[in-house]
Amino acid sequence: MHKLLVLYNEPTDPTHFRKYYVETHLPLVAKMPGVKTMRYSFDVKALPPGKVPYFCIFEAEFENEAALMSALGSKEGKAVAGDVPNYASGGVTMLHFAVR
């Protein structure tokens, strides 16, 4: 299994981010080929308690790294990547890794 982890910084307009992300961006992500599961949260907390550096966290699972890379290179994956500037005004970090 291979996981994609996306960490979103605090946007300039949190209300817009939430609405756009749920109603527009996530449906685009769901169309990417090879996505086995996907989940997200706006309820991000730090341990120990304190300021959280992320506003939203997203994760998706793929069969393997090749499946993830294929999905990102697909027309659907390119549409997802092109959509990020429409809501993620605070910046974003993307990571991927094998799950053991």
Cα–Cα distances (Å) from 84 to 6, 43, 89, 98, in that order, read 11, 20, 9, 24
Q: What is the pLDDT of residue 97?
A: 98
pLDDT tens-place string over residues 55-97 = 999 999 999 999 999 999 999 999 999 999 999 999 999 999 9
Residue 94 is inside which H or E element, if any?
Answer: strand 92-98
pLDDT at residue number 26: 98
Number of domains making up the chain: 1
Domain that holds residue 58: 2-98
Can you give the pLDDT at residue 19? 98
Tell me, what DSSP letter sits at residue 64? Answer: S
| pLDDT classification of 14: cutoffs 50, 70, 90 | very high
* CATH code where residue 83 lies: 3.30.70.100
Percent over 90 (pLDDT), the chain: 91
